[in-house]
Amino acid sequence: MTYEPSEDDESTETDQLIKTVKYEPQELNNEEKAFVNALGYMGSVFTFERSQLPLFLKSLREKVEEAAKPPEDNEQEGEDDNEDDEVEMVEG
């Protein structure tokens, strides 16, 4: 299937085109289901504007790091975070 723009097609002017990037994760069928689920939207195909590439790469790195953590690490972090929030009763 091909597309050839007509001479009257104004949308083909270079200054009106938006450069985009298509993100398509590969080989996720070889990964554990928990890892793929933890990727969230990064586990599916989507397109974004090229100008957003730095933000996309930062988000991808953070999602993969988070998804790759062992479950016990995630639980321990949650426990550590709650330590400061606990109230300790002191009898005086």
How confident is the model at residue 27, as a pLDDT?
Answer: 94
Residue whose pair of structure tokens reads 């991808």 in the numeric block? 60
How confident is the model at residue 34, as a pLDDT?
Answer: 92
Maximum pairwise Cα distance, the chain = 87
How confident is the model at residue 81, as a pLDDT?
Answer: 52
pLDDT in tens, 76-90: 555 555 555 565 656
How confident is the model at residue 71, as a pLDDT?
Answer: 72
pLDDT in tens, 12-71: 566 788 999 999 999 999 999 999 999 999 999 999 999 999 999 999 999 999 999 887
Positive/negative CA dihedral, 71, 72, 78, 81 = negative
Encoded tokens for 52: 């957003």
Domain boundaries, the chain: 17-70
